[in-house]
A and B are shown apart, each in its own frame.
Chain A
Amino acid sequence: MKIEVLRNVQEHNNATADDIRALLAMKKVCMINMMAGAGAGKTSLLERMLPRLMPDLKCAVLEGDITTVYDAERIAALGVPVAQLQTEGSCHLDAWLVHDGLMKMPLDEVDVLFVENVGNLVCPAEFDIGEHSRLAVLSVMEGDDKPAKYPLLFTQATGVALSKCDLIAHTNFNIDRAIGDIRKVNNHAPIYQTGVNCTGDDELLAWIRAEHTKAVPTS
């Protein structure tokens, strides 16, 4: 016999993501999920941003990687609380893994928690991890065709950082094409052109502060 079900395939993951949202609300923490392909410069972006945010916003980082603690070591060197989430082969973070990571964080002493997802333009976008904001990062080294080729990640982004823009003269990256393709799938997320000495770094920092204020309005 045929029986009607009508249940969301990801309902268990999403229920844990809801638990995470409740925990973050209680602890007054804004969580930003950074998603990008491998080598887009997520960790380098954090290394530039964290020292500039830390004077007035207490930050922490959950580092998602298939293996190694390399990225966590780079963040720890800045004196920022960090926990490494090793997926042991899986290509994305899910809500359970992030929930485990949160248990290792001093959440009472955190204002903004960055989650650096596993480097992958496909799978991380599929999983709600209870974040407030999704920051998509795309480096100019990867090619201007990526927003069109991997639309879900850009569709769901609340902010987009184009990274390594200081190197754009050495690439064939057409920034108008990339931004145009992002705009076809997402007409609201602000897009920042970041890189060493790029003005987008300042604008991205202002956006993160605004996301924190939005997520934790009473702070």
Chain B
Amino acid sequence: MHEFSLAHSILEITLETAEANNATSVSEVQCTIGALRQVVPSLMDTAFEACCAGTMAEGAKLVITVEPVKVSCSKCNAVSEMQEMVYQCPKCESVEISMSGGTDMIITSLTIDQENGHED
């Protein structure tokens, strides 16, 4: 249930950024989260919704883009995206692989309404 801690951190940065941009409300928060981060999207939605209640981000949609894990194969030298956490090269099925990426956790953008402005 680390989703609640992460949702709280996402909200903190969202509110800081929104206030710095004179926002009156936040309608969408876009994040990139690595596949290795073990974040359950449905739990994350519930946690984020609960954290946002009573703030200017209440009702904001959380959009998560999953950053895949990259697999480098030492047998066929292919670099591929890992498929569903199967620890083998998707090209030649070798298990002689090394992994990279999949650990990002970044807020990429917000969609806000501003004073004297309109959401586009």
Contact = CB atoms under 8 A, between A and B. Distances in A.
10 contacts: A1-B117, A2-B110, A8-B106, A13-B9, A91-B2, A122-B2, A123-B1, A126-B38, A155-B99, A181-B87
B14 to A, nearest CB: 8
Contact of A12 (B12, B87, B103, B105): B12
A123 B33 CA distance: 15
Interface in A101-129: 122-123, 125-127
Given A1-B117, A9-B31, A185 B99 contact: yes
A185 B87 contact: yes
B5 interface: yes
Interface of B: 1-2, 5-6, 9-10, 12-13, 17, 21, 31, 33, 36-38, 85, 87, 95, 97-99, 103, 105-114, 117, 119-120
Contact of A7 (B1, B106, B112): B106
Interface residues of A, number: 32
Contacts of B38: 122, 125-126, 150, 152
A9 B106 contact: yes
Nearest to B107: A5
Interface of A: 1-13, 90-92, 94, 122-123, 125-127, 148, 150-152, 155, 180-181, 184-185, 187
Nearest to A124: B2
A152 to B, nearest CB: 5
A155 B70 CA distance: 13
B12 A92 contact: no
A4 B37 contact: no
A7 B107 contact: yes
A122 B6 CA distance: 13
Nearest to A151: B36
